């Protein structure tokens, strides 16, 4: 069976573009422009730290918005491979055909139930227990959404290109609250953040090594999800679809992510067990506002750790954070269950008033929350 890679690439990219056309409104204007800038760089083969000419970027953005408008009413198309046709979310069957070619296909739903797809070249595949981990380097097709690690069932994708772009964006757009932790993390690699921002052409390539190392840690967020059973998967999927595009969806995603990160087999458990200073710094630096409000213990523990070097304070924060996330998951599921025989707005208002408002984030917006997962 002959497979035309350019034809396959074109089909997947069209579905990526259709998804972007219909879900670009999920992001704030600032967040959308940042993602479009990264998409432009990827299309043009630029490194993250290579900035395009403003006029060329603006012309591309204008052309892309016109394309989105033209295809916004289109439906996602089946994927044809040789004489076979597959639904766009039939990831497992498609990958059976692509793996012999050194390619892998990803498909799933992200924040706001946005369909997300990519096609990439696999540089390494390994198993971790029942999990299959694919390290993906060059990507041949992708949509505007991008995250370094993603999971579908027992399949984990670790996207090195996404990790590289993510690192650079965080450095370039460094938030004041993240500065100390980010500087600490980069110092573990002998990199000065300020010098990197001032001399990206000379120092930017050093981030390739950082991305390769840190993606190995990010995988453990997905591992933690597999081991975590405090949040019933069926109920969680119900919640994020029922309260899609609301603070309740973000809250549910934050709690699920926190359960995975703070599980003993998850991201923080791995960092603590292997004493990975850089990954600890990056974890604290990359926390989004919603997550840091729910899990402030790790920020306090990190400050103490910087002085004492005592990993036990991080372990205590991890354990306490997991217990708190479990409590929130139970309460969230209980309110959702209680609302089955009531209007959806009843449960939504109960969740906001009893769980979200006490955190002081009643006005939390779905846009640019940064709490994005793929399921």
Instruction: Report DSSP letters for 56-124, one per residue.
Output: HHHHHHHHHHHHHHHHTTPPPPPEEETTEEE-TT-HHHHHHHHGGGTEEEEEEEEGGGEEEEEEEEEEE
64-121 pLDDT, tens digit each: 999 999 999 999 999 999 889 999 999 999 999 999 999 999 999 988 889 999 999 9
pLDDT of amino acid 128: 87
DSSP 355: I
Domain boundaries, the chain: 5-163, 214-359
In whole numbers, what is the pLDDT of the chain averaged over residues?
A: 92
Q: Which residues of 243-278 are buried (b: 16+ CB within 10 A; e: fewer)?
A: bebbbbbbbbbbbbbbbbbbbebbbbbbbbeeebeb
61-78 pLDDT, tens digit each: 999 999 999 999 999 999
258-271 pLDDT, tens digit each: 999 999 999 999 99
338-366 pLDDT, tens digit each: 998 898 899 999 999 999 999 987 554 44
- Spatial distance between the Cα atoms of 372 and 374, rounded to a whole number of angstroms: 7
pLDDT of amino acid 1: 54
Count of C-beta atoms within a 10 Å radius of residue 64: 19
Q: The tokens of 314 are what?
A: 């991080």
């Amino acid at each position: 069976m002959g497979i035309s890679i350019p034809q396959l690439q074109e089909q997947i990219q069209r579905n990526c573009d259709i998804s972007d056309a219909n879900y670009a409104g999920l992001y704030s204007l600032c967040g959308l422009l940042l993602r479009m800038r990264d998409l432009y760089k990827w299309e043009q083969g630029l490194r993250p730290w290579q900035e395009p000419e403003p006029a060329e970027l603006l012309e591309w953005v204008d052309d892309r918005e016109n394309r989105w408008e033209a295809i916004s009413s289109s439906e996602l198309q089946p994927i044809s491979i040789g004489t076979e046709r597959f639904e766009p979310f039939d990831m497992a069957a498609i990958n059976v055909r692509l793996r012999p070619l050194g390619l892998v296909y990803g498909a799933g739903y992200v924040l706001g139930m946005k369909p997300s797809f990519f096609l990439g070249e696999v540089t390494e595949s390994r198993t971790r227990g029942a999990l299959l981990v694919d390290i993906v380097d060059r990507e041949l097709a992708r949509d505007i959404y991008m995250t370094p690690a993603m999971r579908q069932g027992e399949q984990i994708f670790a996207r090195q290109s996404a990790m590289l772009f993510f690192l650079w964006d965080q450095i370039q757009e460094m938030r004041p609250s993240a500065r100390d932790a980010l500087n600490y993390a980069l110092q573990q690699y002998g990199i000065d953040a300020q010098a990197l921002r001032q001399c990206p052409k000379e120092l930017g390539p050093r981030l390739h090594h950082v991305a390769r190392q840190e993606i190995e840690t990010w995988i453990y967020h997905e591992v933690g999800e597999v081991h975590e059973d405090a949040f019933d998967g069926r109920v969680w999927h119900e919640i994020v679809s029922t309260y899609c595009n609301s603070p309740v969806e973000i809250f549910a995603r934050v709690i699920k992510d926190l359960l995975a990160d703070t599980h003993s087999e998850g991201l923080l458990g791995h960092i603590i067990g292997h004493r990975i200073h850089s990954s600890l710094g990056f974890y604290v630096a990359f926390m989004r506002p919603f997550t840091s409000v729910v899990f402030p213990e790790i920020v306090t523990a990190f400050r103490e750790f910087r002085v004492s070097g005592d990993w036990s304070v991080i372990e205590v924060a991890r354990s306490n954070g997991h217990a708190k996330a479990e409590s929130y998951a139970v309460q969230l599921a209980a309110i959702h269950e209680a609302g089955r025989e009531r209007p959806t707005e009843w449960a939504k208002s109960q969740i906001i008033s009893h769980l979200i408002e006490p955190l002081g984030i009643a006005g939390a917006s779905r846009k640019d929350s940064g709490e994005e997962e793929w399921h």
